[in-house]
Amino acid sequence: MVKMPFSCGECHLVLADGVDQCPRCPSAPVSSDWTGYVIIVNPERSEIAKRLQVDKPGRYALKVNVR
């Protein structure tokens, strides 16, 4: 069984294995229930980045379900 990494409910950042707190928004809830994996390289040129309000390159989840 593959364990899903956590994703931040605030900025949608996909966290590294074993990490359960977003380094950018430590007080935000995280969830392993998320869908849509995107890698954003150029946030200023990406429509998805604009939609997710992402301004830093990285790995993101399109949708995060926070309980």
Residues near Zn ion (CB under 5 A): 8, 10-11, 13, 22, 24-25, 28
The nearer residue to Zn ion, 1 or 38, going by C-beta atoms, is 38
The nearer residue to Zn ion, 26 or 41, going by C-beta atoms, is 26
Phi-psi region of 58 (alpha: psi -120 to 50; beta: other; left: phi over 0): left
The distance of closest approach from Cβ of residue 11 to Zn ion in the complex, given in angstroms and rounded to an integer, is 3
The distance of closest approach from Cβ of residue 2 to Zn ion in the complex, given in angstroms and rounded to an integer, is 23
Tokens standing for residue 13: 């950042």
Q: What angle do CA 16, 20, 22 make, to 5 degrees?
A: 75
Tokens standing for residue 56: 């830093």
The distance of closest approach from Cβ of residue 24 to Zn ion in the complex, given in angstroms and rounded to an integer, is 4
